[in-house]
Amino acid sequence: MKLGAGLGAAAIATALDQASKAWLLAHFHATGCGILREQTLTPYFQLVLTCNRGISFGLFNRPGISGLTFAILAALVILVLVFWLSRAHTRFLAAAIGLVIGGAVGNIIDRLRFGGVIDFLSFHVGAWYWPAFNVADSAICLGVAAMLFEGFWLRRAALQTNRGTDVTP
């Protein structure tokens, strides 16, 4: 049952990511990575069409490093996550791991289709811009945050309940 929760979260995250990118490509009449396009929606938010050929926040976004290389590395990480998912003790942790898996799969699909990851959500305050990101990146961040929450707070609460003692540092 926990495995199903994780795989379900992964499937939903991947589907939402790919659907949002398909919508964006149609919106900008584009077929993939190419010319940067932008549309300002609010004073602090833009839709952009950009391609990240590197890893998180554009690190290693330079010629000579193949999108296939990053796709293979991400696939290895996914294998480790699936193993962890198979051993998850709670549905909450399984869903969190599933979000990370789904986000990674969504970005791998982009790397294989376009040679890089399509990013399109761009927030800024004045001249300070957060790097553009996508739904897959959001799923990964939410999944990691949920894993941290589960690891730090939910386990501590369970220990307190089971032992009847204070486990604060």
Is residue 119 annotated as a catalytic residue, yes or no? Answer: yes
Q: Which member of 17, 110, 119, 166 is catalytic? A: 119
Contacts of 68 (CB under 8 A, 6+ apart): 111, 112
Is residue 137 annotated as a catalytic residue, yes or no? Answer: yes
How far is it, in rounded angstroms, from Cα 75 to Cα 143? 17
How far is it, in rounded angstroms, from Cα 139 to Cα 82? 16
Contacts of 60 (CB under 8 A, 6+ apart): 54
Quickly tell me which residue has 């979260």 as its tokens. 9
Which of the 8 DSSP states describes residue 56?
Answer: G
Q: Show which residues are catalytic.
A: 119, 137
